[in-house]
Structure 1
Amino acid sequence: MTKARFTEEFKDEAVKQVIERGYTVPDVAKRLGVSAQSLYKWVKACEPDEKDRFEAEIREIRRENLKLKAELQRVKEDREIPKKGRRILRQEPRLKYAFVLQHRGCYPIRRMCRALGISHSGYYDWLNRPPSRRSLENQRLLELIHDSHQASNQIYGAPRIWIDLREIGEKVSLNRVARIMQANKIKAVRGYKRPGYKYHKPLVAVPNRLQQQFTIDQPDRAWVTDITYIRTYEGWLYLAVVMDLYSRKIIGWSMKATLAKEIVLDAILMAVWRRNPQQEVIIHSDQGSQYSSDEWYRFCASHNLMPSMSRRGNCYDNAAAESFFSSLKKEKIRRYIFKTREEARSEIFDYIEVFYNRARRHAHIGNISPVAYEEQMALLR
């Protein structure tokens, strides 16, 4: 029997059950199915020195204060700049450049350029270079183009405006008129245009090997995985899980603040460490970018996992994972917004490892918990 290994994420959440929630080490070890000796080691390794903890908290508070002051100043400037420059927001860039030059002692130049919708490189180019003869001529032509465009009730395009200019004696090419109009976003106003449709075959990265067969009679033959998100006041917390369809047990999970591919790799790594499958396992997912990455395919190939994917936009192909997320949100986090991501992590860890896997009755497996179902079936084999 291979010795069970646990990810650092699992260890951290197990330690929080002791340190933050006040449970005893034997009680937590029994509920999570780990040895008390291992849990004692994890707790001891995570206990920081009180002095270091206090200094770290002070440094964190100072960093947060500086960050909040900078953010407040940025918000204040972002509100003031458009108010002062509201008369030129729809004007040509040179007028906006003049506004930036006039107020450069009051606000950062880059912030003014962003608020006015111009580039800071364009501002410096305007500042350091006098207008060329051609740009002055283009500006004169632009006024004539505006007059012709407005006189036609904005229905003339470049060819007809070019004819108007030629009739009044301007020696200018059609291409130059078109370039000036495009640069200043002047175009003919037409009627409604029918939308185009693109017909193509849907992209299928790997075949759907599961085919909605969610009833499996042997452990570690078919796993499903998916990602969901939980709202907190700090931002989204993303949760990836791996479920064994045999018992509906969550055998792997990971929680992170981003949707980078590491979240699915950590979840599947936990599942492999826990189950150590000896035969090939189907691992079914949707067509998300995390499950289409090269790292995901290489991990599956090196651990005897056979990828399978749902059809695009078809949630029924991964209904077992979607059902778990629905239960999690209805039974634990519905109508509640966590203050921090850490608070959400602790509550979700408690739901998965303590309640769902070991206590919650599941109708699909005879109204017993996934752990109890696996133990019961092991005695019958």
Structure 2
Amino acid sequence: MVKTRREFTPEFKREAVALLESSGRPQMQIAAELGIQPSMLRQWRATLNGIAPRPRPEASPGSMPASPVASPSDQAAEIPRLRRELDRTRMERDVLGKSDRHLRGDAEVRFRFIEQHASTWPVRLMCRVLGVSPSGYYGWRSRPRSARSAANRQLLADVRRVHADHQGRYGSPRVHAALRAEGRSTSRGRVERLMRRHGIRALAGRRFRLCTTDSRHDLPIAPNLLKQEFSVWVPNKVWLADITYLPTGEGWLYLAAVLDLATRKVVGWSMRNHMRTELTTAALMMADQRQRPTTGLVCHSDRGSQYAAEAYRTQLAGMRAVPSMSRTACCYDNAPMESFFHTLKVELVHQRRWATRDEARRDLFAYIEGYYNRQRIHSALGYITPEQAERKAS
């Protein structure tokens, strides 16, 4: 009988290598499940990754004879089994990827995951992957739900709604505060437990900072009048000012903002493709026209040349405002402003990829004026919005 060499399609090879690389299991185990030799799997992996495979040693006269190759009829019978095994392995991989956070939860969380995905994957397969018994799952389904469980389900639905309404920007403290504002009487710890159990969490930031402050100049430096005294309760008494940067496909877009320390409201802003003094004076002009502050307003900023420039100082003098500047390289002197920029980047900038500066301008305008000032509750204000804080103080 003529021995037939087994042939595998490129798709089969790719899937086998993908299974090996994603499962984290030994190569011998994967090869045995697929009914192939480990050396074949190793060679496929090297070829797909662009690594030249090691040459096979030539058989010596005294070496052992090669293992017999399966007949065509045996191969035909083996293919359906391999396909079933491959499909099962793929489903297990999909379940593992979808249910990663549920593996750390209690049995009820895993049962609920199985119930939600019963139309997608077989129940017994999910039970095996999640480490629970099918009988336990069906027993959980047949038991009547307790009043506490029913209340938790309703509370979870409300938590998901609030979290989605704010595009994932709220963690448990703000979700709890929003629910309390709606009249829901629940504890913050209960909300936190539900969110942790079901993998609901706020957007997270990443560390990166580009310095936009150039204090190496001979312009006048104002004294630090604020001295990190951030407890201000009357609006339009202390304003904070600073510049940040935003990446777009056309280059940097620079944002200058003016923040009222008492209400945390962004009272003025401007956006340009440069950091010249025009950027900061435009933001200050908007704040002045919007708020109409009285004499004695303190305008605090860093020591950047844009804030020490003659045009900016002249504009402050026209407003009868008093300039104040942070110490050299001390971001804590302007901490509330730094906090606003951090929030802006976590909740908006890091979630977007802008092709043009115009796209970025539209999103920034919607965030500052439509969301941050009017919808986002602030912990420093007792979980009310800046607009509510301003109305409350007036």
TM-score range, shorter-chain basis? 0.3 to 0.5
Larger relative contact order (Cα-Cα within 8 Å, sequence gap ≥ 6): 1
Structure-2-length-normalised TM-score: 0.44
* TM-score computed with the length of structure 1 as normaliser: 0.45
